[in-house]
Structures are given as structure tokens and as C-alpha cells.
């Protein structure tokens, strides 16, 4: 039954996206906030489908820690889930993507209208330089930047692999940083179509203010996200011990 429910959800998940992109074409005549509204609709409807089909619920903690204005949002990255479930809490954000994606028919039109950071790898400048240049503009505009510190999805329980780029952007932009912990990989694993029942918990943690030395910030960010993500995974495993079978490594003992 788990596999049947997962298959039904996956079909409806992508069908939902296609339908929203078609029905939402008039949004392209508005500004980027119209696209963000459509993204929020996709996120909310996808969470509803997860709940009703897979019995996979979502819980968001620490919403009071989300500030207004320019901000670096640094989530733990375990799943595709966080790429559509977090945006609804932010008003005017951007994400980092390859420029080639903006050339995809229909889908790319939305990326272009949303004014995202599309990295052009053919102009001779590093991706990090391009990101830093744009983040300075974001601060002036009061916008938020989604920046996954590990760069790619990591399986639950895997040793962290944070990249120094997030600290370089933090130091150059002068923006505060919002760490985000979660346990999504236990329920929506990477490279798998299975969607396990339970509750994905996200926790928006206290903001790290701007101005810290780069290395101090980098250590603080990693420690904060990993400590709280491990705690959230441990909470889920306490409710359903079978989830421990899906960890890449056992969780470290709580201190």
C-alpha cells in the first residue's frame, strides 16, 4: 500500500504542477510576486496531497523567528520537499539556479519572471562572484535569498558537508541568516519515489545577526542546523522506530 500511495501522489504532484503552470500563465503579465503567489499555491496544494494520500503531515515551528526584510535563508537539504514547502513563508525571495533552466519552455518563463539568480557559467566569472554581486542588490531591495549550505541533498544521518560559499555570501552581503532545521529526508528520501507516513517537522531557528567573522559564522551555522535537525530526526524515530532503518549512519548521542 505504501508504494501504491506513493505512486498516486507522485503522479498527482507533477500533474498539479503542470495544471498550475498552464492556468497561471496570466501571472506572467504581472510582477514577480504574482509568481510567488502561484508557487505558494503549489506548495500548499502539494502538502494537502501528501496529507490526504500518503498520510504525511507537515509541522512548522519557530515561525516567530522569521524576520522581515533582507535575509539569507539556510535550510538543511535532505529532500525535494523543502524546495516547494518553505517558500510560502517568505514574501519576496530568490533562489540560485543554472541559467539553462530559464530557457525551458513555460517553466523557464516563470523562473525569468520571478527574477531569480540564474548563474551563467559561460561569462568567465565564478558562480560565487555572480551570487555575491546579486546578493548586494537583494539587501538593498529587502529580498530574501534561499541558500542551501550543503549545495545538494544529503541523506538523513549522513555526515554534513557544508560549503564555505554560504559564509562568503554572508560576509559580503551584510545580511542576517536564518538557519532552518528539518527531518524531511526520513519521509521523502532523495532518489526514491516512496513517501512514508508521519510528520515532517521544520524548525525556523533564531537568526544569526550580520557581522560575525566568516569562520565563526560558518561553524555556528553548521552546528546549529545539524544539532536541531538531529533532534528532529530523533523525535520522529522515537515515534516510529522503523525510521531508524533509513539513516545512513546512527544519529550522534544528544549532548
Cα separations (Å) of 191 from 63, 155, 194?
29, 10, 9
Domain boundaries, the chain: 57-246
Fold of 57-246: Glycerol-3-phosphate (1)-acyltransferase (3.40.1130)
**Given this model, what pLDDT does residue 26 score?**
95
Mean pLDDT in each 10-residue stretch from start to end of the chain (255 residues)? 95 96 94 93 97 98 96 96 94 89 90 88 72 87 94 94 94 96 96 95 98 97 98 97 94 74
Residue 255: its pLDDT value, please? 58
Q: What is the pLDDT of residue 235?
A: 97
| Residues linked to residue 73 through DSSP beta bridges, in sequence order | 146, 178
- The CA distances from residue 201 to 27, 65, 142, 170, 213, in Å, are 31, 15, 28, 26, 31
pLDDT at 5: 96
**Residue written as cell 504581472?**
30
Q: Give 75's strand partners.
A: 180
pLDDT at 137: 87
Amino acid at each position: 500500500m505504501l508504494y501504491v500511495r506513493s505512486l498516486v501522489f507522485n503522479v498527482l504532484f507533477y500533474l498539479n504542477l503542470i495544471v498550475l503552470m498552464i492556468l497561471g500563465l496570466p501571472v506572467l503579465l504581472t510582477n514577480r510576486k504574482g509568481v510567488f503567489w502561484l508557487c505558494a499555491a503549489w506548495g500548499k496544494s502539494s502538502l494537502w496531497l501528501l496529507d490526504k494520500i500518503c498520510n504525511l503531515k507537515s509541522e512548522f515551528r519557530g515561525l516567530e523567528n522569521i524576520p522581515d526584510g533582507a535575509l539569507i535563508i539556510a535550510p538543511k537539504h535532505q529532500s525535494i520537499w523543502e524546495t516547494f514547502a518553505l517558500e510560502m513563508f517568505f514574501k519576496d525571495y530568490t533562489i540560485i539556479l543554472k541559467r539553462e533552466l530559464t530557457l525551458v519552455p513555460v517553466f523557464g518563463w516563470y523562473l525569468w519572471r520571478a527574477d531569480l539568480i540564474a548563474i551563467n557559467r559561460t561569462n568567465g566569472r565564478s558562480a560565487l562572484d555572480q551570487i555575491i554581486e546579486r546578493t548586494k542588490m537583494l539587501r538593498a531591495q529587502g529580498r530574501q535569498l534561499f541558500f542551501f549550505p550543503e549545495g545538494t541533498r544529503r541523506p538523513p544521518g549522513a555526515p554534513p558537508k557544508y560549503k564555505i560559499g554560504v559564509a562568503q555570501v554572508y560576509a559580503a552581503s551584510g545580511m542576517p541568516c536564518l538557519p532552518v532545521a528539518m527531518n524531511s529526508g526520513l519521509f521523502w528520501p532523495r532518489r526514491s519515489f516512496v513517501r512514508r507516513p508521519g510528520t515532517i517537522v521544520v524548525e525556523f531557528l533564531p537568526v544569526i545577526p550580520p557581522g560575525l567573522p566568516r569562520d565563526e559564522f560558518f561553524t555556528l551555522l553548521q552546528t546549529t542546523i545539524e544539532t536541531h535537525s538531529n533532534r528532529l530526526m530523533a523525535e520522529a524515530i522515537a515515534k516510529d522506530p522503523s525510521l531508524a532503518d533509513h539513516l545512513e549512519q546512527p544519529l550522534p548521542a544528544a549532548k
